Structure formats: structure tokens, C-alpha cells
Amino acid sequence: MTSTGHTPAVTPPPDRRHDPTRPPARTATPLTVGVEEEFLLVDPASRELRADAEKVVAEAAGELGDRVGPEITRYQVETRTDPHTSLTGLADQVRSTRLSLARAAARQGLRVISTGTPVLAPPGPPPLTDGPRYARSAETFRALDDEQIACACHVHVGVPDLATALRISNHLRPWIPLLIVLSANSPFWDGRDTGYASWRTTTWGRWPVAGPPPYFTSTSHFEELVGAFLTTGALMDRGGLYWHIRPSHHVPTLEFRAADATATPDDTVLLAAIARAMVATALTALTAVDAGEPALRPSDDMLRAACWRAARDGITGETIDPATGRLTPAVTQVEELLSRLRPALDQHGDTDLVHTLWTRLRTRGGGAEGQRAAYRRNAALTDVVDHLVETTTPPA
């Protein structure tokens, strides 16, 4: 091969045949999937954020129990689903949970919106939730916590152990930009359009341990790296691993963290289905790697650039293919991904629903496009907030 003088987009992996992190035998048992969703609370008159999370959490707990809780700022509330093997069951719980939260907020004179970043926020740093961990975060990370009014959708897919989670993470790195594309729902920040489809992605990129995860050569590599972060103060604890994909620190799952808080319940379900199919596809690929076939390993620099481009342009633009370094339409890349995931989607019985949800998203545009369309009607940010109230809990 003739050298071009450029750093290749893809580098060959090390020999994996004798890797000590090789997973146990795999079965056709459906993988479990669950989601965590973060929301913002707004005043229905001013449409600005309201710092009343503790009231809404207490109100919603009557229906949701421990599946609702606070987040780092008092503007935010988090909900959680149970783990599911049926995508239909997950979809029903996502919708009912959003509805329960919206009703609880309404009883407190508030509204709930699902967006990666706030549209209208009071000036100054956000009020943090009481507690020693949040106080320590403010002391350690300082002004970074001022940008913590950012909401995400986290998808958890069940895996047997840490070693398997790390090997799957290695295989999923090239697909991270498409998770950003599919969920981009944060164009506004501090009362203005940032020009990005997912401004939340850029704010999280400033944290010391964030963005695309490293390529892990072993479990000891992972543990040594995390240990160094903890020793140097770059991490307070394992909960501060803000990589786009990470092994969960408290449940046996691989956690997908690249997505903005999604515009609609359907978008959350689509994201969850794709994440589960990615894991199932990677599990199959590990067998090929064990047999000596190479795994795709984009360079760290190219992957970071691809995530930036995905955050800037979202679903309507072009995205860098981290494997080739070339720009291609984001929609085309998503279609190619879904084609690659087809066997895993078939395995879980998700193909028809995913096709329906993807067609719906592709036709209407992503969350960022919806927010901007609402703004263009009257050049009013309050219209954007009203739009978000409607899309967060749409009628059945």
C-alpha cells in the first residue's frame, strides 16, 4: 500500500486471540434493555426553568416509587425504567413514566420538557441539589458545574461481566457519532441558537473524562486507567466516567451516554432498540475477532472529530465516517447501520418497530430541527418551550 502522508482513519488492532478479557460462551437469550431519562422543569407562564425538583420528585414518587429521583441541579428530574427484554414493554413504560412525571409536575404548577439543554434559564450558576457528592463536585470541578443543566438519555444493555462490556465497547466506538445524530436535541443554550444540533455534546466534552471511550486492551488496562483518574482527582468516583459508552458502575450493563434527552418517547425507544442491536451485533463480531479477523479501530482523533461533526449538524447534515474519514450524509450512514444491525433486530423481534420509528424520525427531522421550526414561527423562544412541552408527552 502506498503511503499518502496522512494518519490513517483506522489502525489495525492488536492480536486478540489470546486476550484475557475473552467473554464466556454466548447464547441467543434476548438482551435486557432499560433507559434513564433526564428532564427539565419549566414555569408555564415565563417558560424559564424552575428549581423545584424536590417537590416534583416527591409528588411523582407516589406513582413511580424509586424510579424517579433528583439530578445534580434543582432544575432537573431523572426517571428510570425497569430492564426489559420486550421493546414493546419498554415503550409502554417510557410513555407511562413520562405521563406520570408530567402529571406530578402539573400538580405543582410546572411543566416538564425533554431537551438536552435549556432554552430559557435564569442568569447565574444553577442551584445544585443538596448533598455531599454534589457539594464535592462543585468544589472539584468549579465552573464546569455551571454547565450541568444538560439532560441526557442513557440506555443500559445487560452484559455478563466487565470484560465483555469492555470488548463490546471497543467494537461500538465507530458507531458513536450516529447515536449523537439520532438524538441531537439541544440547539439552544442561554437564550440563543448555538448553531449546533447537539450543544450538550460539546459541553460534556469539556469534562476531564468524557467523549469517546479509549480502546481497552484488557480489564487491567481499564482498572489502571480509572485508578489513575481517581488518584489525580480527574474523577471523584466511577460515576464520573462520562464516556459516551461505559461499563455501568452499579448495575451489570453497558451504558450508552452519547444521546441527548430525546424529543419524544418514540425517539427514546428507537435509541434503545438500536443500542441493544449494537451490543448483540458486537457479541457476534467478537467470535470473528477471536478467530483472528481484524476489528475496526478508528483513530482517537478521527473519532473525536466525527462526534464533533455529528453534534454540529445532526441528522440533516453530513457526518464523518470514522472508518474512512470521508463525509457522507448522516441519513445514509444511519441506513447502513440499520442494515448491518438487521440480524440482531430480527433476533429480538424489533425490526418492524424500528423501521416505523426510524421512518417517522427521518420524515419529520430530529429534535433540533423541531425546536428550530418552532422558533421560526414567531422568532420566539417561548414557542420553543411550548413545543417541547407538547413533544415530551404527546397524546397516545
| pLDDT tens readout for residues 203-253 | 998 889 999 999 999 999 999 999 999 999 999 989 899 999 999 988 899
Nearest alpha carbon to residue 158 among 210, 266, 82, 66: 82
Give the predicted TM-score (pTM) of the model: 0.91
CATH number, position 381:
3.30.590.20
Phi, psi of 79 (to 5 degrees): -120, 160
Query: Is residue 3 over pLDDT 50?
Result: no
Query: Is residue 18 over pLDDT 90?
Result: no
Tell me the C-alpha distance between 393 and 374, whole Å. 17
Query: Is residue 16 over pLDDT 70?
Result: no
Nearest alpha carbon to residue 116 among 202, 219, 174: 202
At 332, list the grid cell: 445514509
Average pLDDT, the chain: 90
Q: What confidence tier does 297 reach under pLDDT thresholds 50, 70, 90? A: confident
For 343-393, how does the pLDDT look when each residue is reduced to its tens digit (9 = 90+)? 999 999 999 999 999 999 999 999 999 999 999 999 999 999 999 999 999
Instruction: Classify residue 326: in a domain, yes or no.
Output: yes
* Beta strand spans in 298-390 (E): 318-320, 327-329
At 236, list the grid cell: 471523584
Tell me the C-alpha distance between 342 and 273, whole Å. 11
Instruction: Classify residue 55: in a domain, yes or no.
Output: yes
Instruction: Classify residue 384: in a domain, yes or no.
Output: yes
Instruction: Classify residue 1: in a domain, yes or no.
Output: no
Q: Are 211 and 305 in contact (CB under 8 A)?
A: no
Number of independent structural domains in the chain: 1
CA 16, distance to chain mean position in Å, is 28
Instruction: Classify residue 72: in a domain, yes or no.
Output: yes
pLDDT for 138 equals 82
Higher pLDDT, 296 or 106: 106
Query: Is residue 27 over pLDDT 60?
Result: no
Instruction: Classify residue 27: in a domain, yes or no.
Output: no
Structural domain of 172: 33-392
For 154-184, how does the pLDDT look when each residue is reduced to its tens digit (9 = 90+)? 999 999 999 999 999 999 999 999 999 999 9
Q: Give the 3-state secondary structure of residue 120.
A: coil
For 117-164, how does the pLDDT look when each residue is reduced to its tens digit (9 = 90+)? 999 999 888 999 888 888 888 888 888 888 889 999 999 999 999 999
Helices 87-107, 351-364: crossing angle, 10 deg rounding: 50
Q: Give the 3-state secondary structure of residue 243.
A: strand
pLDDT for 9 equals 40
First vs last C-alpha separation in the chain: 57
* Consecutive H or E run containing 35: strand 33-42
Instruction: Please state, as a whole number, how many other Cβ atoms lie within 10 Å of the Cβ of residue 224.
Output: 11
Instruction: Classify residue 239: in a domain, yes or no.
Output: yes
Instruction: Classify residue 3: in a domain, yes or no.
Output: no
Q: What is the CA radius of gyration of the chain?
A: 20
